[in-house]
Structure 1
Amino acid sequence: MKFNRLATRILAVVISLLVAAVGGIAFFSMSRGGDALAESAEQYEIALAESLSYQLEATFNRFDGILKALSALVTTRFSSPPSVDAVDIVVPQFGAQNGKFMTDLGVQSPETRSLFVVFNPEIYGTEKTFLTGFERTGQDSMFMFIDGKDVSAADLIDRNNPETAWLWAPLDTGAAYWGDIRISEGGEEVVTYSQPILLEGKIPAVAVMTFSFDFVRELLNSIKIHDTGYAFLLNRDLKYLHHPTLSFDGPGFREVVDGSFAKFADGIVNDKKGRISYLWGGVPKTMSYWTLENGYVVFAAADVNESLAAVGSMRRAVYVGIAAILVVASTVVLIFSRSLARPLRAVADRALYVAESGDLSAAVEVRT
């Protein structure tokens, strides 16, 4: 019984020391590792939003190059704004002489659906629309000539008509304009992009293109963030251009979920990039965002529990490791407990003998 009590005590001391040492180190490492994983998840989501913005920006820059080339064509042909008396002649001539150049510009981008120049009705009157360009119904179809005969010049400069903002907005601001999503006559989602053409400090014309929005949806739909995360896109007014469940015609970012996102809106507009955290149905969520040059904002939305799923795996691995160490250590101590206890027991027995017999010559002989 003495042996058993001594071995048990040795085992208890060894296991206690192991638990304190291994457990302390493990939980410290787990805490630091969890923080590192959380930081890595945040950096990944922000980097993903940034990467998506660059991919979209690359295509939008191509559109910008197309309109700049079209504007340069106009300013090369007209060193000064065409006179009001001659515009009815020179615009059709311009279209006929430069049709191939314009269609070649259009085919450079498979997303292009129309490319044209419209001359300013505020300079050239509203009785007739002076427009020349080309359009097509799809990527594989031919570009067809358009002249604007069926377009009302008065409607084009009606500031109360948002559908023609692609013309009057550049005239008012002198800056490029990105329109909203609309459905083309062919049933395709398209966006209008326009730039003012400057001559002698005036804006005699505007270069315009429309492009298919499908490439945006294809890119963002291809993104999978963890298990249930997704990417989406807002315009400069924080209206939804692309979202798995929300549409442009529905409530905007400030209005959804009973306005619970409104508190984040100003920060998104002002900060241009960042990450916000919120609760959705009691579940912690995050949205990382990055603003493009044209004012569009791309988001990477993620579930925090999914983002930090590796932390749970790490904890389980630590628990299993601690348990394995304790099992191995306990087994070793049990195997060698007899060897550890035998010398101590022999010394104790011999000391008792010396005390009872007074024989100081007694020796302790024991093998461990």
Structure 2
Amino acid sequence: MRSIQTKFIALILSCVLLSSLVIGGAGVRIAHTVVDRDSAQIMNLLCSEKAGELDGLFSRIEQSVKTLALYASEQLDSLDRLKNDADYREAYTARLTDVAVNAADNTEGALAVYVRFNPTFAPPTSGLFWSRTTRNGSFQKLVPTDFSTYSPSDDEHVGWYYIPVNNGCATWMEPYYNQNIDVQMVSYVIPLYRDNETVGVVGMDIDFGVIEEVVNNIRVYDSGYAFLVDARGLVMCHREIPMGTPMGSADESLIPVVAELENGTTGSGLFTYGWKGTEKELSFRTLRNTMRLAVTAPLAEIDASRNGLVRHILTALLLISVLFVALTVLFTRRLVRPLKELNVAAQKIAQGDYSVTIRNQTRDEVGTLAESFQKTVDSLQKYISYINGLAYRDPLTGVKNKTAYLEAERQMEERMRTGQPEFAVVVMDINGLKTVNDTCGHDFGDILIIDACKLICRTFKRSPVYRIGGDEFVVILENGDLEHYAELLEEFERGMAGCYSARPGEALSIARGIAVYDSQTDLVFANVFKRADDAMYQNKAAMKARPAQSAAPGEPAAR
């Protein structure tokens, strides 16, 4: 017959082993959950960051062409004279030339700039065309393409004119190869109209190598990389697949990837696929020119840190189990209470509860283990709080930063896909910050930013406020603030009139624009933000036009 002590030791050893398994299993499960989530965040944040970098480049190009198009429209006194008066047409072209060449000189990657007139009423080579003959050469005047030589359906030679005109809007053209200077190019073209009649087009040719350089420099994990495809799944930039190749035809395993990319969606998860016998995961974002930037890495590299952590957990589990067995033989009764508490603590951690406090600690190895476990939990809790504070809080103003805004954007897009949320976006931009920085110093500029942030937070006290740029803030309105946004904007205007900027005697000036989500027209969150941003720039222009007056309170939201 086995003694009571033997049975008790066997019982305690069973409990110890069970507790160790629970702790180890919880650790493995946490490793899987946390590392997989962090891997997805790393991939998505990197993809979002680089997509933002490319979108910034596209935005600067678009702004240069828009500025030139606006100038061309403003300088056109009479469409009839442009049609019928050759001297006026020549003088008008001359006025545009300096502005066009200057815009191209100050646009990253610009290789050519042109303003072409409608060939139905103007000579077939009318307009202006300046181009570099080499990548780093200066702009030179060239003879514009003769429209009479080509059919309007000849997209290869004159599609840059007829496609935007037929689209009736600004258009990013597909990349093409310029044999004259051995450069792959992409064009952005804006059609000009006057009195519902096509005047012509304004456009720039951009060195596609500038875009390729950004894409090719993206690295993730050990061998991960990025690639670029268009909305139809044609490869635009890839380290292994030639440009223009349908991605699905390169390998049958990529057909699901093409379908995913064509959807043009974004999300927090990663898309798994196979490529040349290697399992990979992919994250992508849709760029403002409709191309898709994808970031991909082998699954083995993504899971490497998780597998290493699991090995360490299992090794630690083995060592702890051996230690517990030895201690159980010597101190069976003293181990009962702390082991139960360790088991409960492990279960709480497995459920994500890090508010663990171990009270029953003995003065032996088990007590040391419990103390180490408590320190680990405390350090983990402090570390998580510290990381969250760094990742989502703006250090100057204390409000949420751009990373938090991107996460809020992702969550709102998820709600937009699964339902019809009611919300509005307010975009605000501090006027005169650069002047304050230049004249008074950046310390006063920081004071101006803080004062503006205080006013925004005081007005929209029930809504999240994000600082997404040096002088730009975003507020997402829901519920009561959404219902009373007009009153809040009036309160904001009154509050702004009573505040002073960093320069004595000058009132705080903040341009703002608001857009309310419309499920019929807003496919993604960026559509709502774009309308709010446009409304803000309109408000900024109005404030500059009447400096003695503030923008009219209660202006309707952009819809």
Q: Where on the TM-score scale, by shorter chain, does this alignment land: which range?
A: 0.7 to 0.9
Q: 1:66-95: CA deviations, max 9, x gaps?
A: 111111121122134244332x43343233
Residue 255 (structure 2) pairs with residue 262 (structure 1): yes
Name the counterpart of 1:244: 239
CA distance in 1, matches of 2:175, 2:264: 25
Q: Which residue of 2 aligns with 1:181?
A: 175
Whether 1:276 aligns to 2:275 is no
State the superposition RMSD in angstroms. Answer: 2.7
2:209 maps to amino acid: D
Partner Cα separation in structure 2 for residue 192 and residue 91 of structure 1 = 25
Q: Cα offset for 1:267?
A: 4.3
Residue 169 (str. 1) matches residue 151 (str. 2): no
For residue 232 of structure 1, report the CA deviation from its aligned partner.
Answer: 0.7
CA distance in 2, matches of 1:298, 1:112: 21
- Deviation at 1:140? 4.1
In structure 2, the residue matched to 1:352 is none
Shift of residue 146, structure 1, vs aligned partner: 2.4
Q: Kindly indicate whether the alpha-carbon contact (under 8 Å) linking 2:112 and 2:130 is maintained by their aligned counterparts in 1.
A: yes
Residues of 2 paired with 1:163 and 1:38: CA distance? 49
Q: 1:191-340 counterparts in 2 under 5 A?
A: 191-249=186-244, 251-258=245-252, 260-274=253-267, 275-333=270-328
Aligned to 2:112: 114
Amino acid at match of 2:261: I
Q: After superposition, where does 1:335-354 map in structure 2 within 5 Å?
A: none
Measure, in 2, the Cα distance between the counterparts of 1:174 and 1:248: 28
Whole-Å separation in 2 of the counterparts to 1:163 and 1:43? 44
Q: 1:96 to 1:135 in 2, by over 3 A?
A: same
Query: For residues 55 and 30 of structure 1, do their structure 2 counterparts lie closer, same or farther at Cα, with a shift above 3 Å needed?
Result: same
1:18 counterpart residue number: 16
TM-superposed deviation, 1:234? 1.1
TM-score of the superposition, structure 2-length normalised? 0.54
Q: Distance in 2 between matches of 1:291 and 1:80?
A: 40
Give me the whole-angstrom Cα distance separating, in 2, the residues matched to 1:333 and 1:84.
100
Going from structure 1 to structure 2, the CA distance change for 1:169 and 1:156 (only over 3 Å counts) comes to farther
Structure 2: 5+ residue runs without aligned partners?
333-559
The partner residue of 2:148 within 154, 164, 168 is 154
1:10 deviates by 7.0
Q: CA deviation at 1:282?
A: 4.4
Spell out the pairing of 1:31-70 with structure 2 (5 A cutoff).
Answer: 31-70=29-68
Give the match for residue 93 of structure 1.
91
Q: After superposing the two structures, state which structure 1 stretch, 326-335 or 271-280, moved more.
A: 326-335
User: Counterpart of 1:47 in 2: which secondary structure?
Assistant: helix
Distance of 2:243 and 2:149 partners within structure 1: 24
Aligned CA distance change for structure 1 residues 213 and 122 (closer, same or farther; 3 Å): same
Question: 2: distance between equivalents of 1:107 and 1:236?
Answer: 30
- The 8 Å contact of residues 286 and 301 in structure 1, kept in 2 or not, is answered as yes
The structural deviation recorded for 1:137 is: 3.5
- Residues 111-170 of structure 1 show CA distances to partners (whole Å, capped at 9, x for unaligned) of 111111011213335xx311213222456432212231xx22135553143342211101
Question: Larger Rg: 1 or 2?
Answer: 1
Q: TM-score normalised to the size of structure 1?
A: 0.80
Following superposition, the deviation at residue 335 of structure 1 comes to: 6.4
The alignment status of 1:144 with 2:140, answered yes or no, reads yes
- Once the two structures are superposed, residues 152-209 of structure 1 have per-residue CA deviations (whole angstroms, 9 ceiling, x without a partner) of 2135553143342211101211122222333331212221221101111111110011
Contact 1:45 1:300 in 2 (8 A): yes
Gaps of 5+ in 1: 338-368
